[in-house]
Structure 1
Amino acid sequence: MAETSDFKAKPPEGIDPIGASSEGASLYQLIREDIIEGRLAANDRLVVTDLARRHGTSTNPVREALQLLRGEGFVTLVPNRGARVRPIDQDFVRDIYEIGVLIEPALTRWFVNMATVEDIAELERIQGLIEENNFADTFKHSELDTAFHTVMYQKHYNRHAAELWWKHREVLRAVSRRFNFTLARRAAILSEHRELIAHVKAGNANEAAELIARHVEGSGRHILEHMRARNAARAG
């Protein structure tokens, strides 16, 4: 059994979360972090030559990174006007999690009908690690929580849907790093995971799908509430 300190969630098999050269992938991570942390502000221009000079690289890896960031919604690319940082605002988060509310129930329903004894054992194993960590290390929780959901979606025949889920989840994971879990959200996550496992064991596909829709919406609303509170504090 893997130690949580070494645990790293992996994307569903056959899905490349980066899809770029090693240098392009590295720049993608650096620029995305700058956007999330606010070092690159909303609507800032992203000039390829400037970014290449700043990071000591050629322009090709920068273009790769910007295309990846565009695919995730962090960057807008307008012909003849270049790239700009998309505002990481409440509308952005709402759009992402609402897509999850639409597609994850379908993925979950399929999983319940196809789940094996081994799949259920893996869900229980990961849930045990989640409860053992008990949010003490939020990075560990994020990795374990992602692994929990990946068990359900990694075998789905629709690889486009699985890839969309992974991409959007990674975006929300990145944004949510700014905020702490409330006690109410912590309790809801643990309870809903356990209830979900029970539905999988019982073969309750529709009930599991309804639960996952509430689970995803709860996660999205949790982020939005933190964003509203932060914006209100700044305005005050």
Structure 2
Amino acid sequence: MQQYKAQPPAGLALSGATPAGDSVYQQIRDDIISGRLEANARLVVAELAQRHETSTNPVREALQLLRGEGFVVISPNRGARVRPIDQDFVRDIYEIGVLIEPALTRWFVGMATPEDITQLERVQAEIEENNFADQLQHSELDTRFHTIMYERHYNRHAAELWWKHREVLRAVSRRFNFTLARRAQVIREHRELIELIKNGEADRAAALVAQHVEGSGRHILEHMRAVEAARAS
């Protein structure tokens, strides 16, 4: 199977961060998602610079990126803190996707070429070949599947917002495994979506994508509720 690394839609200047800033951003984000940095923990620039063996400028860049994604809250006179990744946070993110992605999909159906459909079918074949055995690979392929549809959209702000929010959900979902029911649903919905695109059924494709995104968000919330219930018992 071809190895694929998810990349943002072409033409998007998502961060403008330096390589050092992007590296620190990745590390701090992983620490937040994994719980190594706890909710409401203070993020002191000098301490982070020392921990990551860099200067303070990359750390400041990283914190601004994390603030833009919602992982960090920066308040006057209080500095930066880790935003709790709770159910409300996840709900807000995926509900925005439910609003944005159908519009992006409807536009794509109207301009999709045979080459686009071939690409979707090729990526879907790789998704099914992997069959969730490697969940990171699945995540990368699933992101590529949707990027094919959105990467050429004329509204670059909408495409950027989609990408940023998807990356947040991808990061959070790394803590959980797919249920068998969710695996089957993803495969089924992808196949149906390809057929709707082939047939030029824009409204039905948009409705299916809304259902697909909501299903993904609810799947994450169910896992989060189960974890909370286990902790409380």
TM range (shorter): over 0.9
Q: Which residue of the other structure, out of 53, 73, 93, is the alignment partner of 2:90?
A: 93
Scaled by the length of structure 2, what TM-score is found?
0.98
Deviation per residue, 1:18-49 (Å, 9 max, x gap) = 42011110000000000000010000010111
Separation of aligned partners in 1, 2:119 and 2:163: 19
Q: Please state if 1:26 is matched with 2:23.
A: yes
Q: Please state if 1:10 is matched with 2:7.
A: yes
Separation of aligned partners in 2, 1:28 and 1:91: 23
Q: Which residue of the other structure, out of 63, 71, 85, is the alignment partner of 1:74?
A: 71
Q: Please state if 1:213 is matched with 2:219.
A: no
Separation of aligned partners in 2, 1:135 and 1:217: 20
Q: Please state if 1:61 is matched with 2:55.
A: no
Equivalent residue, structure 2, for 1:116: 113
SS in 1 for 2:178: coil
Deviation per residue, 1:190-229 (Å, 9 max, x gap) = 0000000000000000000000000000000000000000
Q: Please state if 1:50 is matched with 2:36.
A: no
Q: Which residue of the other structure, out of 220, 223, 227, is the alignment partner of 1:223?
A: 220
Superposed CA RMSD in Å reads 0.8
Deviation per residue, 1:50-109 (Å, 9 max, x gap) = 111111211111100000000000000001210000000000000000000001000000
Separation of aligned partners in 2, 1:16 and 1:170: 15
Separation of aligned partners in 2, 1:145 and 1:18: 22
Residue 127 of structure 1 aligns with an amino acid whose one-letter code is Q
Residue 185 of structure 1 aligns with an amino acid whose one-letter code is R
Q: Which residue of the other structure, out of 29, 37, 40, is the alignment partner of 1:40?
A: 37
Residue 147 of structure 2 aligns with an amino acid whose one-letter code is T
Equivalent residue, structure 2, for 1:104: 101
Separation of aligned partners in 2, 1:172 and 1:210: 20
SS in 2 for 1:11: coil
Q: Unaligned 5+ residue runs, structure 1?
A: none
Separation of aligned partners in 2, 1:208 and 1:103: 13
Equivalent residue, structure 2, for 1:188: 185
Equivalent residue, structure 2, for 1:139: 136
Separation of aligned partners in 2, 1:233 and 1:16: 41
SS in 2 for 1:39: coil
Separation of aligned partners in 2, 1:199 and 1:107: 15
Separation of aligned partners in 2, 1:27 and 1:16: 18
Runs of at least 4 residues off by over 2 Å: 16-19
Separation of aligned partners in 1, 2:138 and 2:112: 24
Scaled by the length of structure 1, what TM-score is found?
0.97
Q: Unaligned 5+ residue runs, structure 2?
A: none
Separation of aligned partners in 2, 1:87 and 1:71: 15
Separation of aligned partners in 1, 2:87 and 2:13: 28
Number of positions where the alignment pairs a residue of Structure 1 with one of Structure 2: 233
The farther-off stretch of 138-147 and 46-55 is 46-55
Q: Please state if 1:157 is matched with 2:177.
A: no
Task: For residue 17 of structure 1, report the CA deviation from its aligned partner.
Answer: 4.1
